A = this chain, B = another copy of it.
């Protein structure tokens, strides 16, 4: 089994040094607790509530920034993998909402969020590449960021691409939900896990920023779609999952969630029975 730990941090807006320390402390603590996959929030190194690109640029870093080597150092003994969010200064001088996948030997992948939520569009440039499936020593990790997960094509794409665990740094804004209900983002994640028979780990954040609060609804979901861990009072969600169980999409000898797909029929609705006349209404009873 693979131990997955989500660390629901409270980054400080615009304070890179403080956030670097926060992430390093969290990674080291998770590793001490046996984590093989450590998930940090979206924009963990920068904070979220930027009001302009200039403000985000001031705390944005390249994918070559030394913090990622520090993350790698922090998991060197354990061989764990870290996935966490940062404001990325691209080679093209544009600012992206990105997530890095870092193992003991360095950065394995950087993914730039494709579906920007609301006012993020005023700050960041959307990514132009599909999300990655990253082969790591602890499993094949698909990466999405927050709103990406709400487009069902995204977890579907990663699961079809062989992901065993979909890791999703998030910043889920606090919303009122009816009594007894989960936040909709978690419902969507459960459905994605169930429909794709794949595990999902989503790491939310806490700590109000400029009046914005967060759900703190981090969750680890097994390949059946059940939430097996949420954040404890320290903001830590821990679960041990056998990621190999995400491989086989056959639920029975006759059910294969992927083999049963009918992609040739997706994307266009059919007019009502165009191939045959509408039946006459019989008056017989």
Contact = CB atoms under 8 A, between A and B. Distances in A.
A131 B270 contact: yes
A187 B184 contact: no
Which size bracket describes the interface of A in this complex? 35 or more
A162 B271 CA distance: 12
A201 interface: no
A195 to B, nearest CB: 5
A114 interface: yes
A166 to B, nearest CB: 11
Contact of A114 (B114, B133, B252, B262): B262
A157 interface: yes
Given A68-B279, A156-B153, A279-B107, A114 B254 contact: no
B157 A267 contact: yes
Contact of A64 (B266, B271, B279): B279
A211 interface: no
Interface of A: 63-64, 66, 68-70, 72-73, 91, 101, 105-110, 114-119, 121-122, 126, 129-134, 142, 150-154, 156-158, 160-163, 178, 181, 184, 187-188, 190-192, 194-195, 224-226, 251-252, 254-255, 257, 260-263, 265-273, 275-276, 278-285
